[in-house]
Structure 1
Amino acid sequence: MACGSHFETGNCVCDILRQIADAQSDVVTNECTTSCEQSINDLLGGTLPAANDLDTVPVILYCDCEPFKGFGAPTGTTGDLGSFGNVVGSFFFRVKSVDDNCCTVLELLRDPNDNNDNPDSPADQSTDNLEATGICITVNVNCFCHITCLPAISAL
């Protein structure tokens, strides 16, 4: 019997991790202070006293073990049709929608006071005041291998 073969998901790493999680379940508590589950609970008002003003769980997605950076441009400030502002990048996203095929619309989140339009990593991008930008991209989330959820915020 191979390690992790009890689960037989077709993914040996997943099978092994499930086997480890099951073995640890009696020893390790499942209370993470920062996790996707915790952020969703906070957003829904489950644990924070002032959770009712939260509207966003910021996420970082990973492709090939590297953080994914999305790019887009805000609508131009001149009011001219077809004009747009400088192209900006962000590692932080707000999920807008997900269809049955995992085609997902993500909105770039940025700190309006961050003058770095093209950060090299999530650690280089300011998260002091993440806000919705109105810049949305469409991605196939089947292409991602990892997600990090940050604590829920008010981004509007």
Structure 2
Amino acid sequence: MSCGKEFNTGNCVCDILKEIADAQSDIIENGCVNCEQSIADLLGDNTLPAANELDTVPVLLYTKEGKPFKGFGACYDAISDIEGSFYFRVKDVDDDCCATLELLRDPNDPDDNPETPVSQFTGNLETTGICITVDAHCFCHITCLPAIDAL
């Protein structure tokens, strides 16, 4: 994915987040489990296999200072259990580039507050139900990881 394929907000991180959110939304709303195909459709490449179980494009975001961004939050029923993550699932992005991101975590990771993205377990990333809201204008770099089944 590159900047401005589907959107042109003037912010390439925001544009990519919007593309990912749309692709993931297509999968959920249409009832199919084919993230690769939805992203390929956005890019105009319909040559990928039709059947898979991928539903999430995990992303890493970087601040304007070049540091990996880590989000924090707690599940609704466990406010005392604050968790941090560098990995996110894009839930929504509005026209002002305000993005809702869900923290992704590996349930086997014993560390609720990893120091770096490489120290966080990623072998089995899953959605957490913990969402944060960010201004995509605050980021200068995004890394998209291979699509996974996280729902």
TM (norm. structure 2) is 0.68
Matched residues, number: 113
Please list the CA deviations of residues 20-67 of structure 1 after superposition, one character each: whole Å capped at 9, or x if unmatched. xxxxxxxxxxxxxxxx99xx7725274654753111000000001000
Structure 2 runs not aligned, ≥5 long? 1-18, 24-34, 41-46
What percent identity do the matched residue pairs reach?
63
Structure 1 runs not aligned, ≥5 long? 1-35, 77-82
Q: Any conservation in 1 of the 2:60–2:144 contact (CA below 8 Å)?
A: yes
The equivalent of 2:73 in structure 1 is: 72
TM-superposed CA distance for 1:85, in Å, is: 4.2
Q: Quick one: structure 1 residues 91 and 50, their matched pair in 2 at CA, closer, same or farther if it must change by over 3 Å?
A: farther
Amino acid aligned to 2:103: L
1:102 to 97, 102, 125: 97
The equivalent of 2:131 in structure 1 is: 136
Amino acid aligned to 1:44: S
- Corresponding residue SS for 1:44: helix
Tell me the C-alpha RMSD between the 2 structures: 2.2
Amino acid aligned to 1:55: D
TM-superposed CA distance for 1:135, in Å, is: 0.2
Q: Any conservation in 2 of the 1:43–1:56 contact (CA below 8 Å)?
A: no
- What are the residue-to-residue correspondences of 1:86-125 with 2, within 5 Å? 86-125=81-120
Amino acid aligned to 1:69: K
The equivalent of 1:127 in structure 2 is: 122
CA distance in 1, matches of 2:67, 2:51: 31
* Greater displacement, 41-50 / 62-71: 41-50
Structure 1 or 2, whichever has the larger Rg, is: 1
- Corresponding residue SS for 2:52: helix
CA distance in 2, matches of 1:50, 1:43: 6
